Structure 1
């Protein structure tokens, strides 16, 4: 890590006022803190991170310095090599910072096939941690076992279910599956009888007793009633009356409560029926007109529910937990046991070619099992479910879902709002800004709805590249529509106070921003000035000065003293043309 990077990290920690998920600060006055071991393990089990020793969080991250930095570095390296399993090899450096010396250790995330990382002294069950917010949380026994299982390809969907057989399957689903297998994959299934074909597809497997029984995946894909053997391998839908859940004032616990049972195709159908029953329709602006649409696009909901049922953890420790769909006035969440599996991460969800299946056999079966009453398979478009979800939300002008990946759970949350509904369009029009791109309007709408925005989120939501995102966000700052906090990878954006929607205001804007023409022109009345000199004279940011200079040049009120206006040293002067409103001042 370079000194400049360290300074940037500390500056942003001071802005935030606390540690963050990937940075931990400790004073280390008495030597290497014992808690450092937990932090090292947690970083390795999560997304990696940076440990800084020699700063005091309680004193605005002031540099307290280290009495023996070289020894501390040696002790930390020894801890990583001998006290932690598997051993870690962080990059450790000592930096001069604000009059003291600090130690910086950069810890990479371990690959899935080496997790969990744990403290040898405490053991794998008590010594495994993950990073949650700005703290370290001990993993539960179930989470540890889940990480161990994820080191390879889990086969819980192929586990035999004693006391079952082909009689536990739905005959119609079996007939359709076998017909599709023999038609689509004749080399593997064309010459096999029904039992042999189901065994090759691993819907039927051999139990320890030597008898042929249904597999867990076979029951979930084809079973007439899988919950007879696994009561909690179902889906629950609950519609809550308030954003917090039950209404404590009226005592109303829920608006609707539905249990979806049966094989996965039936559970998906019944879950969608329950959601549709509880959804309302609303108007959105499309082109020059309006259209009535459902609160949530059904294609996005279907993919989220299918993914939750197909990719849930099926290990014995999780078979008592159901897939949950929760509807609130402001959001809808789909949650399943078991986090993401394999190389897939939250950041890479939806990327082309990024796909991994925890339950490969179940997924393969559902590629040839149809929807009830339909001809399309449940998982017909393998590997494209998240992209389908995202595209459906974009088409509906809605915010993209929030994905939350934990070791033991994974959830998808859909915000209940349309980004460019009538109210938002009216608010955008009330800003009086001309020349905003559609992607900039989407970015402003996200901030208006309370969402957060950084460069990556902006690119994901608007589908523009990094160069365009940087340029458009800079333009929004220059227009004084948004303000930036932090720098580089820490940069975050929020609405400027002057454009925050005012409660009850007809226009939707609390106050109009000032027209900066007069300030720029007054500063130029004394002679030529550069952008930096104008910024110093007016108190405006350099981006805002550049924005209004472009406007004044287009109006013929200001001109550059040279052709290369992109040069920061270029100077500007008034043209002598009288600005509107100046006539009476002469």
Structure 2
């Protein structure tokens, strides 16, 4: 029997409701399994419509005046068709949800609290029927199409970011865990002179949520962006920290020279991470037409954008994995967990699709990444300006990997790299309102115009690979466009 402070605070708040809410129900001793199954479905669906994270059933509270009178209901020993009640219910609920019965010592009175997570990806069904709460009735959801539409409208934008990273915290505990000063600085907002103002802004950007009894929850979004220490949170958050590893050779078998496991949230620690990487990079005195006496081996804008992309586009639901940045003698690899939502060969032209829209929106607002749809353009532009081998975007198992290569002369590039560079150059020209020509490809590779036939060979190979085509077959001098144009 629990006396957990948060559980007691939840019951206190529920008892203060003027009447049963669509996501809250009071019972005295009714233990019927069919009734409970329908209620779980109805309250889960209704909670999502009402923007609540949980629905609740309390046994032992009188419906009329919400007095705590106690209950004889014993969910731990209750059987349905010879099965334990919780197992019987779980087998009949789809999608599966993590409901929980608790026996509560409520100031000396025995109550039962059933906590039901709000529907997340689809309406919750019991015995293949979804239910909804309307007043004190629990009808089938299919009988009320307007409510079904309202539920689906709420389900569509549901995302990992709105989940709870830490719950039932005091205001002091929230401010101790989040770098709220960085939030106000990065979003260019003045720091309020009182706590209420601070929490109003954190709440508006969904970094925190109100919990029971005047307490607060930190959302996954708040934790992953602004945690002072990601290790202060559960492993599902802590393992999303960015890892950086540098090797003294060209493979992972070589000696590790530098390693850093990020502890701060992405936004709070982004500048420090990029500066740390930049400080480790060798300097190159001359890189083609982008000559500078003190330039890092890789363009800073390319590193910044690819790191930001890895943070934004990762699949947060992949357990035990976070973004990984690896520096080798001849390349840099940036990997994020999750299958791409857009084919890697279309990263440049297709509108980006992000699993983490709230995170992406805040990162753009804080100018930690480029405007939507322009990041990869800038990466390829910078690579071409520095006449580096073309970046490689590919799927590796259940992850996406972007590879930047160290400077190499045109003669040292592989045939595959030349073809990939030709395709990326054609795509970059097209999205810029231009067309690739033999002369522009010579410029991209640093080929002397006297040797323009080398560019012609590459264009022919790229056409044969099906990656580009003539812009106008009847006018060969019109240039070339990517295959999807």
TM-score, normalisation: structure 1: 0.43
2:17 corresponds to: none
8 Å contact 2:419–2:462 — kept in the other structure?
A: no
Cα distance in 2 between the residues matched to 1:311 and 1:401: 18
| Matched ranges for 1:435-446 at <5 A | 445=410
Q: Deviations over 1:446-495 (max 9, x none)?
A: x632251576741423655667359989x9796799589989543799xx
Q: Which runs of 5+ in 1 are unaligned?
A: 1-112, 114-150, 184-191, 248-252, 370-376, 419-423, 425-444, 494-565, 567-586
Asked if the contact 2:380–2:424 (Cα under 8 Å) also holds between the matched residues in 1, the reply is no
Aligned to 1:176: 185
Confirm or deny that 1:349 pairs with 2:324: no
Secondary structure of the structure 1 residue equivalent to 2:201 = helix
Aligned to 1:257: 259
Distance, in Å, in 2 between the alignment partners of 1:457 and 1:289 is 20
Q: Which residue of 1 aligns with 2:465?
A: 490
Residue 233 (structure 1) aligned with residue 223 (structure 2)? no
Contact residue 418 and residue 458 of structure 2 kept, 8 A:
no
Could you list the per-position Cα deviations for residues 171-227 of structure 1 after superposition, in whole angstroms to 9, with x for gaps in the alignment? 3124336763999xxxxxxxx944343223211135699953111011122222233
Relative distance call for 1:403 and 1:210 in structure 2 (3 A) is farther
Which residue does 1:378 correspond to in 2?
368
Q: Name the residue aligned to 2:392.
A: 402
Instruction: Name the CA distance, whole Å, in 2 between partners of 1:233 and 1:471.
Output: 42
**What does residue 270 of structure 1 align with?**
272
Give 1:314's aligned residue.
316
> 1:509-541 CA deviation, whole Å, 9 max, x = no partner?
xxxxxxxxxxxxxxxxxxxxxxxxxxxxxxxxx
Residues in 2 aligned to 1:243 and 1:490: alpha-carbon distance in whole angstroms: 29
Q: Work out whether 1:358 is the aligned partner of 2:358.
A: no
Q: Is the 8 A contact 1:297 1:392 kept in 2?
A: yes
The 3-state SS of whatever aligns with 2:353 is coil
Question: 2:327 aligned with 1:327, yes or no?
Answer: yes
Partner secondary structure for residue 189 of structure 2: helix
Could you tell me how far 1:163 is from its partner in structure 2? Answer: 3.0
Distance 1:453 1:220, change over 3 A: closer
Change (3 A) 1:480 1:365: closer
Against the structure 1 CA distance between its residues 335 and 226, is the aligned structure 2 distance closer, same or farther, given a 3 Å change threshold?
A: same
Once the two structures are superposed, the pairs formed by residues 160-309 of structure 1 within 5 Å of their partners are 160-163=164-167, 165=169, 166-167=174-175, 168-176=177-185, 180=189, 193-206=197-210, 212-229=216-233, 230-247=237-254, 253-284=255-286, 286=288, 291-309=293-311
Q: What is the rounded CA distance, in whole Å, between the counterparts of 1:490 and 1:406 in structure 2? A: 22
In structure 2, how many angstroms separate the alpha carbons of the residues matched to 1:471 and 1:197? 49
Cα 1:297/1:285, change in 2 over 3 Å: closer
1:364 positional shift: 2.4
- 1:408: Cα distance to partner? 2.2
Q: Is the 8 A contact 2:289 2:386 kept in 1?
A: no
Match for residue 547 of structure 1?
A: none
Note closer, same or farther for the CA distance 1:391–1:227 as it changes in structure 2 (3 Å cut). farther
The Cα of 1:365 is off from its aligned counterpart by 2.7
Alignment CA distance shift 1:232-1:482 (3 Å): same
Separation (CA, whole Å) in 1 of partners of 2:441 and 2:382: 25
Q: Take 1:391 and 1:330, find their aligned partners in 2: how far apart are those partners?
A: 20
**Separation in 2 of the partners of 1:307 and 1:487?**
27
Q: Distance in 2 between matches of 1:154 and 1:378?
A: 24
Query: Which deviations, in whole Å up to 9, do the C-alpha atoms of 1:287-330 show, x marking residues without a partner?
Result: 69774421111111111112212222212x42x21211111111
Offset of 1:416 from its aligned partner? 0.9
Partner of 2:54: none
Aligned mates of 2:378, 2:309 — CA distance in 1: 12
Tell me, what secondary structure is at the counterpart of 1:221? helix
Alpha-carbon offset, residue 386 of structure 1 = 1.7
Deviation (angstroms), 1:241: 1.9
The 1-side partners of 2:186 and 2:295 are apart by 35
Give the CA RMSD over aligned residues. 4.1
Compute the displacement of 1:153 (Å): 5.2
Q: Distance in 1 between matches of 2:357 and 2:180?
A: 23
Equivalenced residue count is: 293
Work out whether residues 330 and 406 of structure 2, in 8 Å CA contact, stay in contact via their aligned partners in 1. Answer: yes
| Distance (whole Å) between structure 2 residues aligned to residue 359 and residue 288 of structure 1 | 35
Asked if structure 1 preserves the Cα contact closer than 8 Å seen for 2:248 and 2:257, the reply is yes
Kept in 1: contact 2:283–2:296 (CA 8 A): yes
Aligned to 1:461: 425
Q: Secondary structure at the match of 1:161?
A: strand
Superposition TM-score, scaled by structure 2 size: 0.51
Q: Specify whether residues 366 and 408 from structure 1 end up closer, same or farther in structure 2 by C-alpha distance, changes over 3 A only.
A: same
Looking at structure 2, the residues matched to 363 and 314 of structure 1 have their Cα atoms a distance apart, in angstroms, of 13
Displacement, 1:413? Answer: 0.4
Q: Counterpart of 2:286 in 1: which secondary structure?
A: strand
Deviations 1:319-369 (A, max 9, x none): x2121111111110011111323xx33122132x71222111122233444
Change (3 A) 1:299 1:288: closer
Q: Give the 5 Å matches for 1:508-527.
A: none
